[in-house]
Structure 1
Amino acid sequence: MNQSSHSILMYPSAGRPPHYEKLQEEHEVAVLGGPRGPAPVTTTVINMPSEISVPDHVVWSLFNTLFMNFCCLGFIAFAYSIKSRDRKMVGDITGAQAFASTAKCLNIWALIFNILLTIGSIVVFIIFSAVIFQAISQKMKNLEGF
């Protein structure tokens, strides 16, 4: 930067139009094509391993942990899911699959128990409501009899 550009930057309200330096750059455009010399052509091949998708069931385990966590099966499944994710990040696919399989099994059992508990709660609520309704109707009949 020269002295005049310093003065413009330091005093922007001097009333003069700014003076910009023109930068001269040289651009070379390489045309794609064959090599231009006697050097032999070498190629590099990189074999990338195909990534095996191992589901870790973290979301399912978290859902089972937060909603009706019967005998802590959801929490245990969540722990195995985290272990599976950790193994997958390290690159241990076999360990990740083993932990994921355990987490899946625990999630299935937690889901079955949660469904049974929900159905059982609904049945108990219906029976309890019917008993209360019957008791109230019996009381009303007794009051009408007097």
Structure 2
Amino acid sequence: MLKEEHEVRVLGAPNYPAPVPPTVINIRSETSVPDHIVWSLFNSLFLNVCCLGFVAFAYSVKSRDRKMVGDVLGAQSYASTAKCLNVCALVLGILLTIGVIVLLGVGHVAVYQMVSEFMKKNRGY
């Protein structure tokens, strides 16, 4: 008989009524869901083409609400919609801004040419 076996027999086996189940601790990891609320606010204030910025802001708020409740899938869905609306509002806003600048430049040149031709015609009198 080994020394360890003898000690077990002398001391006796532990008196546990049942085997101890393992302790499992579930830690919920915080899934980061961007809600794009700052981008939506910027678009709703400055690039609100066809109210896309405002609608994107509404979806961003819904995404934040879903995230606070714990509905990660709902939050991701609303955040994805807000992101698409923000991209559309940004692209359309930039295109419209460039278009307005081009139209103002072309209009300025056209007015300058009309005034210069008018001045040439009226000098003869």
Aligned-pair distance for 1:69? 0.8
Aligned-pair distance for 1:99? 0.2
Aligned-pair distance for 1:45? 6.1
Instruction: Give percent identity, aligned residues only.
Output: 64
Instruction: Supply the AA of the counterpart residue of 1:99.
Output: Y
Equivalenced residues, count: 104
Q: 1:120 matched to which residue of 2?
A: 99
More helix, by proportion? 2
Q: TM-score, normalised by structure 2?
A: 0.78
Q: TM-score, normalised by structure 1?
A: 0.67
> 1:1-146 to 2 correspondence within 5 Å?
46-146=25-125
Aligned-pair distance for 1:135? 1.0
- Render the CA deviation track for 1:75-118: whole Å, top value 9, x for unaligned: 10000000000000000000000000000000011111101100
In 1: Cα distance, 2:27 partner to 2:121 partner? 84
- Partner SS for 2:35: coil
In 2: Cα distance, 1:121 partner to 1:95 partner? 39
**Larger relative contact order (C-alpha < 8 A, sep ≥ 6)?**
2
Aligned-pair distance for 1:140? 1.4
Structure 2 unaligned blocks of 5 or more: 1-22
| 8 Å CA contact retained: 2:47, 2:90 | no
